[in-house]
């Protein structure tokens, strides 16, 4: 994607910093003043790479949406700075219309859509009328890209959640932003349609070089589609890296719980399984298994039906583990067992 003129200097006194990633934050804080001070983002450093999908994940209230607003320029950092292509991101004090011109934000909910207008008009209205032919062809192109061209003449109000989300993304993409920001974009999309939308976004990134930053609290969606994961905890970055690596080798127990609902054991609990360790360890649910043994020290505590798999809870009075079982044979609660752990990860 060509570097657009709006990727440059907004702030008169600013000097471009060389050799930074596309988006770069240094010592960035955001503090909300009310009855009490809330430090939503606390002195973080980060870099976002161009042409990739970066997911910001963390529990509710960890500062994800605040970080997205800092990147877009909707919030002024209380400490530090955010730069885009080496230039300071302008905020409300620098710019009349909030938000960086090279970026588009698709917010939670569909606040920006006109529910009673047609899909076509919602999307086309983002373009000027200087070239009507181009306006029509570009609108058609972006509707096709998001596979909603057959819905062009429908009112947005009559669409499903997933279709509305596709309209919102079309609207955001029609002016060729360099960065697409999305806050919990799949919340209102049925699980069955989520995979397709995620795949379509991945294809757009691969075909156009668009940079995507999306906020989520759902590991299954970000693990499937992101190139990088930025894990937020209480306003700080708990982890950053490749999703597969963070899944199998999380740097913190928080990341392990968030991404995989891993079993986190203290040394004395690990010892019950015969694992000697001086630190906490995590054991992925899929790395736990059992064999029936009427003399076994452990037993099946509970079995939860999860559709395509069972979540089996097992252990003894001092230890509880969760595991995933694809049931071939039926196992009963209270069956005596041996527990087998194929691998674990020390912190």
Q: Under the rule (CB under 6 A), what is the footprint of ligand ADP?
A: 32, 34, 38, 40, 58, 60-66
Q: How far is the CB of 56 from ligand ADP (least distance, A)?
A: 8
- Phi first, then psi, for residue 137 (nearest 5°) are -70, -40
Note every long-range contact of 147-150, with CB atoms under 8 Å and residues 24 or more positions apart, other chains counting: 147/200, 148/119
Window contacting Mg ion (CB under 5 A); options: 61-69, 139-147, 154-162, 204-212: 61-69
Compare residues 63 and 219 and give the one whose CB is closer to ligand ADP.
Answer: 63
- Residue 118 DSSP symbol: B
Is the torsion defined by CA of 65, 66, 69, 70 positive or negative? Answer: negative
Is 287 a binding residue for Mg ion by CB under 5 A? The answer is no
Q: 24, 83 in Cβ contact below 8 A?
A: yes
Provide the 10 A C-beta neighbour count for residue 86. Answer: 18
Q: Round to whole Å and give the CA distance between 246 and 240.
A: 8
Q: 314, 337 in Cβ contact below 8 A?
A: yes
Q: Round to whole Å and give the CA distance between 314 and 182.
A: 39
Compare residues 120 and 254 and give the one whose CB is closer to Mg ion.
Answer: 254
Q: Residues 12-51: x/- map of binding to Mg ion (CB under 5 A)?
A: ----------------------------------------
Compare residues 40 and 210 and give the one whose CB is closer to Mg ion.
Answer: 40
61 interface partner picked from ligand ADP, Mg ion, none, CB below 5 to 8 A per type: ligand ADP
Q: 180, 172 in Cβ contact below 8 A?
A: yes
Q: Round to whole Å and give the CA distance between 346 and 252.
A: 10
Q: How far is the CB of 219 from ligand ADP (least distance, A)?
A: 14
Compare residues 120 and 254 and give the one whose CB is closer to ligand ADP.
Answer: 254
162 interface partner picked from Mg ion, ligand ADP, none, CB below 5 to 8 A per type: none
SS3 275: coil
Residues whose CB falls within 8 Å of the CB of residue 208, separated by 6 or more in sequence, listed in order: 1
Q: Residues 225-254: x/- map of binding to Mg ion (CB under 5 A)?
A: ------------------------------
Q: How far is the CB of 110 from Mg ion (least distance, A)?
A: 16
Compare residues 66 and 263 and give the one whose CB is closer to ligand ADP.
Answer: 66
Q: How many residues bind Mg ion (CB under 5 A)?
A: 1
Buried b (16+ CB within 10 A) or exposed e, 281-292: bbbbbebbbbee
Q: Residues 137-176: x/- map of binding to Mg ion (CB under 5 A)?
A: ----------------------------------------
Q: 62, 69 in Cβ contact below 8 A?
A: no
329 interface partner picked from ligand ADP, Mg ion, none, CB below 5 to 8 A per type: none
Q: Round to whole Å and give the CA distance between 128 and 40.
A: 38
Q: Round to whole Å and give the CA distance between 17 and 89.
A: 12
Rule CB under 5 A: choose which of 30, 65, 170, 211 binds Mg ion.
Answer: 65
Window contacting Mg ion (CB under 5 A); options: 59-67, 171-179, 201-209, 247-255: 59-67
Compare residues 65 and 211 and give the one whose CB is closer to Mg ion.
Answer: 65
Q: How far is the CB of 36 from ligand ADP (least distance, A)?
A: 9
Q: How far is the CB of 65 from Mg ion (least distance, A)?
A: 3
What's the order of all strands across the beta sheet hosting 23-33? 37-48, 23-33, 79-84, 87-88
Compare residues 39 and 248 and give the one whose CB is closer to Mg ion.
Answer: 39
Compare residues 178 and 183 and give the one whose CB is closer to Mg ion.
Answer: 183
Residues interacting with Mg ion, by CB under 5 A?
65
């Amino acid at each position: 994607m060509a570097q657009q003129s709006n990727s440059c200097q907004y702030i008169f006194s600013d000097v471009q910093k060389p050799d930074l990633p596309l988006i770069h934050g240094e010592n960035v804080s955001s503090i909300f003043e009310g009855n009490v001070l809330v430090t939503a983002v606390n002195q973080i450093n980060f870099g976002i790479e161009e042409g990739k999908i970066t997911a910001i994940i963390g529990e509710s209230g960890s500062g994800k949406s605040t970080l997205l607003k800092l990147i877009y320029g909707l919030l002024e950092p209380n400490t530090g700075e955010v730069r885009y292509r080496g230039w300071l991101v302008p905020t409300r004090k620098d710019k009349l219309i909030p938000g960086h011109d090279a970026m588009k934000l698709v917010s939670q909910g569909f606040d920006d859509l006109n529910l009673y207008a047609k899909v076509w008009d919602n999307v086309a209205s983002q373009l000027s009328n200087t070239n009507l032919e181009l306006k029509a062809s570009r609108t058609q192109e972006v509707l096709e890209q998001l596979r909603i061209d057959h819905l062009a003449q429908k009112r947005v109000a009559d669409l499903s959640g997933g279709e509305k989300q596709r309209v919102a993304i079309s609207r955001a993409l029609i002016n060729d932003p360099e960065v697409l920001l999305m806050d919990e974009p799949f919340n209102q999309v049925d699980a069955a349609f989520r995979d397709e939308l995620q795949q379509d976004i991945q294809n757009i990134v691969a075909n156009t070089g668009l940079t995507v930053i999306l906020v989520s609290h759902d590991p299954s969606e970000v693990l499937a589609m992101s190139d990088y994961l930025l894990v937020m905890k209480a306003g700080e970055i708990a982890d950053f890296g490749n999703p597969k690596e963070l899944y199998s080798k999380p740097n913190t127990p928080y990341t392990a719980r968030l991404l995989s609902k891993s079993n986190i054991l203290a040394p004395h609990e690990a010892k019950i399984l015969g694992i000697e360790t001086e630190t906490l360890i995590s054991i992925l649910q899929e790395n736990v298994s059992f064999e029936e043994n009427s003399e076994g020290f452990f037993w099946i505590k509970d079995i939860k039906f999860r559709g395509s798999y069972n979540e089996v809870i097992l252990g003894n009075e001092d230890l509880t583990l969760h595991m995933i079982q694809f049931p071939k044979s039926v196992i009963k609660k209270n069956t005596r067992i041996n527990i087998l752990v194929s691998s674990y990860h020390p912190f």
